């Protein structure tokens, strides 16, 4: 069942999204060579709880952490750990916040120190594909229009688009219908209507689109061990232009 949100519900999600954006900013201010991914996770949870929210991911299907932290060849669902970030790494930080009964979800991939130019380009183009997908999330379009915009852009650069993992609806539940694939055909799929809230999240690999799941049952990595990038926003389908509820503003400010 699709759940279309009222303006009141969207306001609740906007509040969740603001705390989430600020939590990402806190993490961004700490990201550097020599820090462990566990330290980032602890700070994010502390910040979210201090601001009246709770981490959406913690306890979700047994997941034990507030952040999914996925370095290098890990695409998504990486565990925070004693892994110490080093120059040349790229690391995806995915976070969700539950506040007033509504979720928001977003992700950002960071370069650490001196990163290879082709990997920096992967991050730039993946982030660009997110916004190209969001541009298509307007009433009257089809889900395939969103999916195609992402796939078309990144495959032109020679990258692999992950098939096994997709974006999703979001609201009272972290994962609602519909699925939001990062690949598809224009004019196909669900017709989008005002009030549908979506987490759009391109997951794009430098090499093959193929991924494998590690034995922990969570961690997804690229089959060829090449780096992956992941960017995500929570958005509302509107009549003329999608509204982005989450923000990278605090991240970008911290990285200046």
DSSP 52: T
Q: Cα(171)–Cα(180) distance, rounded to whole angstroms? A: 15
**105 has binding-site annotation:** yes
**124 has binding-site annotation:** no
Q: Cα(169)–Cα(116) distance, rounded to whole angstroms? A: 34
**201 has binding-site annotation:** yes
Integer CA distances (angstroms), 106 to 1, 12, 40, 200, in order = 23, 16, 16, 9
- Residue length, the chain? 256
Q: Judging by DSSP bridges, how do beta strands 220-222 and 197-200 pair with one another?
A: unpaired
Q: The dihedral of CA 87, 122, 182, 16: what is its sign?
A: positive
**240 has binding-site annotation:** no
**232 has binding-site annotation:** yes
**How many alpha carbons fall within 13 Å on the CB side of residue 169?**
18
Q: Cα(19)–Cα(46) distance, rounded to whole angstroms? A: 12
* Feature table: binding site for substrate: 77, 175
* Feature table: binding site for a divalent metal cation: 94, 105, 168, 201, 232
* Feature table: binding site: 77, 94, 105, 168, 175, 201, 232
């Amino acid at each position: 069942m699709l759940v279309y949100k009222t303006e009141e519900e969207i306001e609740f999600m906007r509040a969740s999204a603001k705390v989430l954006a600020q939590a990402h900013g806190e993490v961004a201010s700490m990201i550097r060579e020599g820090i462990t991914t566990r330290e980032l996770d602890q700070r994010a949870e502390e910040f979210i709880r201090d601001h009246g929210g709770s981490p959406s991911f913690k306890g979700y299907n047994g997941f034990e952490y507030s952040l999914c932290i996925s370095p290098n060849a890990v695409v998504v669902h990486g565990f925070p750990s004693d892994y110490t970030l080093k120059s040349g790494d790229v690391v995806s930080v995915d976070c969700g916040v539950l506040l007033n009964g509504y979720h928001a979800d977003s992700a950002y991939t960071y370069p650490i120190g001196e990163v290879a130019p082709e990997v920096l380009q992967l991050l730039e183009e993946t982030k660009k594909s997110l916004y190209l997908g969001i541009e298509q999330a307007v009433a009257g379009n089809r889900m395939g229009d969103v999916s195609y915009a992402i796939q078309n852009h990144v495959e032109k650069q020679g990258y692999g688009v992950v098939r096994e993992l997709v974006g999703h609806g979001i609201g009272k539940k972290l994962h609602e219908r519909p699925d939001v694939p990062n690949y598809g055909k224009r004019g196909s799929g669900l017709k989008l209507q005002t009030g549908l809230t979506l987490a759009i999240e391109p997951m794009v690999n430098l090499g093959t689109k193929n991924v494998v799941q590690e034995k922990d049952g969570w961690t997804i990595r690229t089959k060829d061990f090449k780096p992956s990038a992941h960017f995500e926003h929570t958005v509302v389908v509107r009549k003329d232009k999608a509204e982005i509820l989450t923000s990278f503003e605090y991240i970008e400010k911290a990285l200046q």
